[in-house]
């Protein structure tokens, strides 16, 4: 037996005007949200691209180094390749933690104010 859900709200959400969007975009609160995002995302993006290009360049031009065996049949290239995946997942995890702690509360406050809840 399915639980009964409450009937949908007939109250329409307030839609912000273009002027309100512009006002919020120019606000200090939105600027802080944007700075918080950029100060996290841009350096990590640049760092990951450099790390990825290092891997590609070493694979192309440093075959001896990348082919060096570490343990059994595992070589430097394999370890670097696995580390590419590991670093991708770590960055995604780290970003989700950062967004939940720093970005989402600020964005939710702006959204609530824009929709007339504050």
Tens of pLDDT, residue by residue, the chain (118 residues): 566 777 766 666 677 888 888 998 999 999 999 999 999 999 999 999 999 999 999 999 999 999 999 999 999 999 999 999 999 999 999 999 999 999 999 999 998 888 875 5
Q: Token pair 């350096």 is at which residue?
A: 43
Nearest 10 degrees: Cα torsion 68, 74, 77, 82: -160
Sign (positive/negative) of CA torsion 99, 102, 103, 105? positive
3-class secondary-structure state, position 70? strand
Relative orientation angle of helices 18-25 and 28-61, to the nearest 10 degrees: 70
pTM value is 0.75
């Amino acid at each position: 037996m399915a639980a009964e859900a409450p009937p949908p709200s007939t109250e329409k959400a307030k839609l912000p005007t273009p002027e309100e969007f512009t006002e919020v975009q120019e606000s200090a609160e939105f600027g802080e949200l944007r700075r918080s995002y950029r100060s996290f995302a841009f350096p990590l993006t640049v760092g990951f691209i450099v790390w990825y290009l290092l891997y590609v360049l070493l694979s192309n031009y440093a075959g001896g180094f990348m082919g060096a065996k570490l343990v059994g049949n595992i070589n430097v290239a394999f370890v670097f390749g696995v580390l590419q995946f590991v670093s991708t997942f770590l960055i995604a995890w780290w970003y989700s933690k950062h967004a939940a702690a720093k970005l989402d509360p600020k964005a939710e406050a702006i959204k609530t104010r824009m929709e007339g809840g504050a």
